Amino acid sequence: MYKVALCEDEQVFFEAHEKICRDILDGLTIEYHLSVFENGHDFLNAFLEQGERYDLLLLDILMEGTDGMTLARRIRETDTDMAIIFITSHPDFALQGYDVAALHYLIKPVDGATLERLIHGDYHSRFANEFFMLATNGSKRRIAIKDIICLETSGRRVAVTTREGLISVPGKLTDLLSELPQEHFIRCHQAYAVNIRNIRELTKQDAIAVNGKAVPVSRTFMSDVQKAFVRQLRSC
């Protein structure tokens, strides 16, 4: 889930920016959560006291109490991954944004097209590789890559086994594999490939998946599969 926060204490801009954000996020057709805060104190309470984490923060600089720049510095003490976009009526603070590795600096009123470009860019840099589009019966279906267990070629189609079931798509196994992350998907048989992250056990001839499915592993590919399996265990 893409988690976005808006921290703005000017009511007229608060409502306008919240609407712009929701329209942009709705347009992405993704699962997201937008949290809104009317002052820096409330945001810090959620971030520090409640342990909330966000992918993107739209942050006003001039706020009563805890100002945006101070808040950003507090964030960077424990979180270097959160993207911060400053929004303000005063361009004089732009250079200070470099101190906290701000993603961008927007002048009020915020330009919707610019914000849309920034949000799209941030989202895709984080999540674009987590989903895969499968063509099924003239339509396209989006599935989470982490949920794919294995691929099996059968004639001119490929059976994609996921945690939720089986999806049959036209095409070649080699073509599908070329579009999936090579560090996670590995050929294990002339007719099979597995997502090594979803393999819980290796036997002399099978890779046992988390759903109990036994995926054949041929002698030709056994050594490569074993090495990939060990690497995966070490990374956990």
For residue 145, give the DSSP letter.
Answer: G
Candidate CATH numbers 3.60.15.10, 3.40.50.2300, 3.30.230.10, 3.40.50.300; the one for domain 2-129: 3.40.50.2300
All structural domains of the chain with their residue ranges: 2-129, 137-235
Average pLDDT, the chain: 89
What is the pTM for the complete model shown?
0.58
**Residue ranges of the chain whose pLDDT lies below 50:** none
At the topology level, CATH places domain 137-235 in OB fold (Dihydrolipoamide Acetyltransferase, E2P) (2.40.50)
Instruction: Quote the pLDDT of residue 133.
Output: 83
- pLDDT for the residue 138: 76
What pLDDT is attached to residue 146?
86
The C-alpha atoms of residue 180 and residue 190 are separated, in whole angstroms, by 17
Sheet strands side by side (includes 83-88): 32-37, 2-7, 56-60, 83-88, 104-107
pLDDT value of residue 59:
95
pLDDT of residue 128: 64
Q: Which residues, other chains included, contact 93 with Cβ-Cβ below 8 Å and sequence gap of 6+?
A: 61, 69, 86, 105
